[in-house]
Amino acid sequence: MSDRTGRFVVQPNGHKTPLSPHMEVWRWHITMAASILFRATIIAAGVGSVFVLGWLAALGFGPEAYANFTALAASPLGLFVGFGLTVVLFSLILNGGRHLLNDALIGLDVKTANLLSQIAVWGPLVLGVLFWIALFATGRVSL
């Protein structure tokens, strides 16, 4: 193992091993973006669960607390958070489907993996916008 690239490290036992590749070594591609966004989506879903707990707490504390919570949820900030949580939900569904297919050894060739990743990256945003357009168009949500 030569040290021509300067990317090796000597382990405590004396063996030379290659360093792990850093982000700057890799060329960005859609499957990498889909993987990173899926992890961010999982974190966002955890944060979103706090809002669900807040809703349940407001429900348990009585009508006044619930009215305050629904007023906050109906505000522009609340609608923005609701839109974000909708995108997170669609992302979990589409990325989960992508992972399910990959676990079944489907879509592992480069062309299909790129297509599934494109769907998982852009699909949640498109579906979220369409969903909220439908909510506003049917009068279920208003500013």
Looking at the chain, the whole-number percentage of residues with pLDDT higher than 70 is 90
Q: Give Dmax over CA atoms of the chain in angstroms.
A: 72
Give the integer Cα–Cα distance in Å for 5 and 2.
8
Residue 98: its pLDDT value, please? 96
Q: Specify which residues 9 forms β-bridges with.
A: 17
Q: What's this model's pTM, rounded to 2 decimal places? A: 0.80
Distance between alpha carbon 39 and the CA centroid of its chain, in Å? 6
> Position 7: which residue type?
R
> Position 141: which residue type?
V
Q: Confidence class of residue 57 from pLDDT cuts 50, 70 and 90? A: very high
Mean pLDDT of 30-55: 94
